[in-house]
Structure 1
Amino acid sequence: MVTRKKSKAAAELPTVSISEGEIARYLHLGTPWVQGSMRLKDPFMLDLEYVQRMMAWLLFTPADEDLTALHAVQLGLGAAALTKFHHKVLGMRTTAIEINPQVIAACRGWFKLPPDSASLQVLQADAAEEIRRPHWQGAVHALQVDLYDHDAAAPVLDSPDFYADCRAMLAPEGCMTVNLFGRRSSYAASLEKICAAFGPDNVWAFKPTREGNTIVLALRVAQPRDVLQLQSRAQAVQAQYQLPATKWLKVLRPVVEDVSQGGLERGQ
């Protein structure tokens, strides 16, 4: 979940710690905040509700799409839940970009992150710099952004230029999902920047989870809002991947509807 700017010395990066309950193992970065988790009996499935919602890009992917031909990228590794799911469950070519070497080591040692291979790569790098490399441009179908420091007050990378760089990474049919967590004013400011980069007609948002995570989804190119098609796709995603996709449609809507109803400032 965490990355920091490269100008920070390695010594300033938060220290990783692990805790464990009867059901799940948790990743922490110097605080009690949970930065990621893994089900002990099902390590490749998604445990946290907000992490499951980061998979909502599947709703906008045709049912006959060959996911194994697509590329997924995560900015911020967390406990590697999304990285493992894309690689192991969806069979996609998968890349994660994480600046903290302790996080990478913890995921390999404690969270069953497989070693790098032809279809899986974990880069220790500054996401802001890495995503500007030419080979990323137009190459990514599913981009997940979860960039918080140990204080979890606001995204570490959250500028208009950053979101424009994210959009440039996407293939024409590509989609970005972002975890926004923190104060409502922080959410509104972040959402405004995402809309500026992608266009408000291309942006959808979930209602916040009970923990305060709001997932925002941004499409490279707007798609028709076909309710029946979304319902059909949600049913297929739920049946195939055991994700609560039909419930997503009850709490996911286009941002332009929130703006018209004054919901942008509320983040709900």
Structure 2
Amino acid sequence: MSDVRIPADPPPPAAGDGSPRPFFLDSGTKRTLHFTEKEIQSSMSLLNPDALDLEYTRMMMGFVLFNPAPERILMVGLGGGSLPKFCHRYLARTEIEVIEIDPGVIALRDAFMVPADDARLRVIQADAAEYLRDAEDHADVIFLDGFGVGGIPDALCSADFYADCFHALRDDGILVINFHVNHPNHHEYMDRVRASFGPSMFEVVDDDMTNSIVFACKGDLLDDPDATTLTRPAAISKDAWRQLMPTLRVIGATLVLR
């Protein structure tokens, strides 16, 4: 196990450009990623590092109701690596590409037990807005979970960026976005997504009304009536399904009410 930062330690000094350096804190069996002491960016159980410790990450995995075996997932934002680790372990035939702009976050991948790059997993230091600008038919699923201090960077929530995500998806591809429900621009962000994806989208909000997970599809895959049956696909192991099932029930109920 990597060395431990005790909770009383102050965060590291800011980088040369004045931006805060990411750091982690340990409390009991939890390890959390921070840019500031008050805001948790990611959380990991030291007893079960590959588990999805935060509810919103389990909600983002709701795409498996529509496509349980994507060929390629593109993730914007590494954070503590919760989603890349889970997908790498349980989606054995899926290629996972993670775009992270902050080298300080990438430097902590070992602390959060993110596997080394291999034939199925790559972590790329790049600006996601630039990376996706020229991508076309690139991925079956795109995750947007790129946050900094103060929320989502402007470049990752613009109308142009959502249009680029639409073009980067393959036919029937799914965009999965993590929003903060109470952000003053939340409804405007939703309108920007809708401008590119039309009505083929829906929103699920977590129990504490903090995170809004939006699913938007390039096609009509979200209208598949079988998604609400909550039957475990052959591509998803019993262990993964057991972890996701309580959250998938909530998503299924949302689909019924669409």
Q: Which amino acid aligns with 2:47?
A: K
Q: Deviations over 1:68-112 (max 9, x none)?
A: xx011110111111111122221221111011101001122x101
Cα drift, residue 239 of structure 1 = 4.2
Q: Which structure 2 segments of 5+ residues have no match?
A: 1-14
How big is the alpha-carbon RMSD for the aligned residues of Structure 1 and Structure 2? Answer: 2.4
Higher fraction of helix: 1
Distance in 2 (alpha carbons) for counterparts of 1:211 and 1:180: 11
SS at match of 2:40: coil
- Counting only pairs closer than 5 Å after superposition, residues 38-187 of structure 1 correspond to structure 2 as 38-61=44-67, 65=69, 67=70, 70-91=71-92, 92-108=94-110, 110-133=111-134, 136-152=135-151, 157-181=156-180, 183-187=182-186
Number of aligned positions between the proteins:
237
TM-score (norm. length: structure 1): 0.80
Cα drift, residue 240 of structure 1 = 5.0
Partner of 1:205: 203
Overall identity of the aligned pairs, in %? 31
Q: Which structure 1 segments of 5+ residues have no match?
A: 1-8, 258-268
Cα drift, residue 14 of structure 1 = 2.3
CA gap 1:31/1:157 in 2 versus in 1, 3 angstroms: farther
Partner of 2:228: 231
Q: Which amino acid aligns with 1:158?
A: C
* Contact kept? 1:14, 1:30, Cα under 8 Å: yes
Q: Deviations over 1:22-61 (max 9, x none)?
A: 2321000134211011111111121100011111111112
SS at match of 2:85: helix
Partner of 1:217: 215
SS at match of 1:171: strand
CA gap 1:205/1:252 in 2 versus in 1, 3 angstroms: farther
Q: Deviations over 1:114-147 (max 9, x none)?
A: 11122111111111001123xx311201110012
CA gap 1:240/1:167 in 2 versus in 1, 3 angstroms: farther
* Contact kept? 1:154, 1:180, Cα under 8 Å: no
Distance in 2 (alpha carbons) for counterparts of 1:213 and 1:23: 24
SS at match of 2:48: coil
CA gap 1:124/1:231 in 2 versus in 1, 3 angstroms: same
